[in-house]
């Protein structure tokens, strides 16, 4: 069995493609079960955020698993695998674990150090558990990633990047119109991102109004912030009075059209800043061309990151904070790697000791038939002596194989023990031969993978 991480993120794909693969709750459930119905996938977890859709899967064959997962992604996006392949990244085994931990820590986010992705991973894990698509392989890996994310945020200064993408987007609003204190802001959407946006705005002193397709949720959110809730039918009126519109719904089509914004700008002598944090986008792209309207969206923020590769968008995370976070990720992933490799050799150690016990019992039985007159005390002493000798002979190789398992290629020693002692255990299928290899320490895009499956 092998662990794979196959996905599309802001690191490699444009926002237009991210919109195609974006998933809602129902889409995610359907995808989870579609993955398990495929030929090579036995466990699956889907992490879908505004900047990525990544699938972590346990598979029985490397290339077969990559193909299955890629086909599911392509079907969901309504396109072919060949169209997605330049943007799909593939991580394998240890590197996949490291990638998940890096994502959980906020180190792979558009805004380095953002915390929302940790909650999104926790929700994805809970959903996979509820749907029965996660088992003994992905359980400890996901739990370790959540632990890593928590440690990074509590033990390093990486949070200085800002709470989330929301904070960075609102910083861009402030750049346009100044301080938000006292300014009327309309928030469309009361889900997790909408709640985060409304809460952040309230902390900055804005006068928050919330509207949503679910009025009860909007009312509860507004009341918790000391703001107002309005019906969605009042969108036009409220937009005309607002200085800022923040929208982040889970809709699959346009929520804010040019007609609504055009009407809101009639007779207006001040600018309107529209913040669209939804994926797919809530706001018609043409809105950005209207006079007096400024749009801040994921494409803009992605462009800023592309213009400054390797730098946090917020620009406030010190290099030593990032280094400390990476060091924690490396430490935790190394510990998990050692645990997984030790677990991988445990059946070999157990089988070796079981085989030795069978041989000892057989020889003692043979001795008893050849020396039937041997008294009980002598027989017992001989048995203890033989077992001590066997235990001492096996002690060093079994201890060493466990120690060596934590090193790269350490499971090869368990393979050698199985071969030397004829243990007859079926080793985990080697998914890659010498002729077809994938570096487990570096990600690759789908169209860079070899064609043949060597598993």
Strand runs (DSSP E) across 10-86, as ranges? Answer: 41-48, 52-59
Q: Residue 189, annotated ligand binder?
A: yes
Q: What residue spans of 42-115 are helical by DSSP H?
A: 62-77, 81-84, 94-104
In a 3-state reduction of DSSP, which class is residue 414? helix
Q: Residue 190, annotated ligand binder?
A: yes
Distance CA 429, CA 444 (A): 22
DSSP state of 430: P
Q: Residue 194, annotated ligand binder?
A: yes
Q: Are 45 and 128 in contact (CB under 8 A)?
A: yes
Q: What residue spans of 287-442 are helical by DSSP H?
A: 298-307, 319-370, 376-404, 411-421
Options 18, 41, 50, 186, the catalytic residue: 50
Q: Is 50 considered catalytic here? A: yes
Nearest to 188 by CA among 225, 223, 224, 217: 217
Residues 6+ apart with CB under 8 A from 233: none
Nearest to 101 by CA among 369, 273, 327, 281: 327
Q: Residue 191, annotated ligand binder?
A: yes
Q: Residue 120, annotated ligand binder?
A: yes
Q: What distances in angstroms separate CA 314 from CA 107, 108, 181, 308, one per listed residue?
A: 13, 14, 21, 11
DSSP state of 40: S
Q: Residue 20, annotated ligand binder?
A: no
Q: Are 214 and 204 in contact (CB under 8 A)?
A: no
Q: Residue 213, annotated ligand binder?
A: no
Q: Per-residue b/e over 28-57, b at no fewer than 16 CB within 10 Å?
A: bbebbebbbebebbbbbbbbbbbbbbbbbb
Structure tokens at 414: 């368990």
Give the total residue count for the chain. 455
Q: Are 316 and 159 in contact (CB under 8 A)?
A: no
Q: Residue 51, annotated ligand binder?
A: yes
Dihedral pair phi/psi, residue 309, rounded to 5°: -60, 140
Binding-site annotation, residues for NADP(+): 189-194
Binding-site annotation, residues: 49-52, 109, 114-116, 120, 189-194
Binding-site annotation, residues for substrate: 49-52, 109, 114-116, 120
Residues taking part in catalysis: 50
């Amino acid at each position: 069995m092998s662990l794979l991480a196959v996905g599309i993120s802001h690191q490699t794909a444009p926002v237009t493609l991210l919109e195609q693969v974006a998933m809602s709750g129902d889409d995610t459930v359907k995808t989870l079960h579609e993955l398990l119905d495929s030929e090579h996938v036995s466990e699956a977890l889907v992490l879908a955020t505004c900047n990525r859709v990544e699938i972590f899967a346990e598979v029985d064959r490397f290339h077969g698993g990559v193909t299955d997962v890629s086909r599911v992604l392509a079907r969901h996006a309504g396109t072919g695998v060949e169209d997605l392949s330049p943007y799909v990244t593939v991580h394998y085994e240890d590197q996949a674990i490291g990638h998940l931990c890096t994502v959980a820590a906020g180190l792979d986010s558009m805004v380095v150090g953002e915390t929302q992705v940790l909650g999104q991973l926790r929700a994805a894990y809970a959903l996979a558990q509820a749907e029965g698509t996660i088992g003994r392989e992905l359980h400890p890996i996901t739990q370790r990633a959540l632990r890593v994310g928590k440690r990074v945020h509590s033990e390093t200064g990486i949070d200085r990047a800002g709470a989330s993408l929301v904070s960075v987007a609102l910083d861009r609003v402030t750049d346009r119109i100044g301080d938000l204190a006292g300014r009327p802001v309309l928030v469309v959407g009361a889900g997790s991102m909408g709640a985060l946006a409304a809460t952040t705005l309230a902390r900055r002193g804005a006068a928050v109004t919330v509207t949503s397709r679910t009025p009860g949720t909007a009312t509860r959110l507004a009341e918790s912030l000391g703001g107002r809730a309005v019906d969605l039918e009042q969108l036009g009126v409220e937009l005309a009075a607002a200085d800022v519109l923040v929208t982040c719904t889970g809709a699959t089509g346009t929520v804010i059209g040019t007609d609504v914004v055009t009407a809101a700008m009639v007779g207006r002598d001040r600018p309107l800043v529209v913040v669209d944090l939804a994926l797919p986008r809530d706001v018609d792209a043409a809105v950005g061309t209207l006079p007096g309207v400024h749009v801040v969206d994921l494409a803009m923020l992605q462009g800023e990151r592309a213009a400054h590769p390797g730098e946090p968008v917020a620009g406030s995370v010190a290099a030593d904070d990032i280094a400390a976070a990476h060091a924690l990720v490396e430490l935790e992933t190394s510990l998990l790697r050692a645990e997984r490799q030790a677990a991988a050799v445990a059946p070999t150690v157990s089988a070796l000791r079981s085989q030795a016990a069978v041989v000892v019992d057989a020889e003692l039985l043979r001795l008893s038939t050849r020396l039937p007159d041997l008294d009980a005390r002598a027989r017992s002493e001989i048995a203890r002596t033989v077992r001590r000798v066997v235990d001492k002979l096996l002690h060093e190789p079994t201890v060493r194989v466990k120690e060596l398992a934590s090193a790269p290629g350490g499971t090869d020693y368990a393979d050698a023990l199985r071969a030397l002692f004829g243990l007859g255990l079926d080793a985990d299928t080697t998914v890659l031969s010498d002729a077809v290899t994938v570096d487990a320490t570096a990600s690759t895009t789908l169209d860079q993978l070899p064609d043949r499956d060597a598993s």
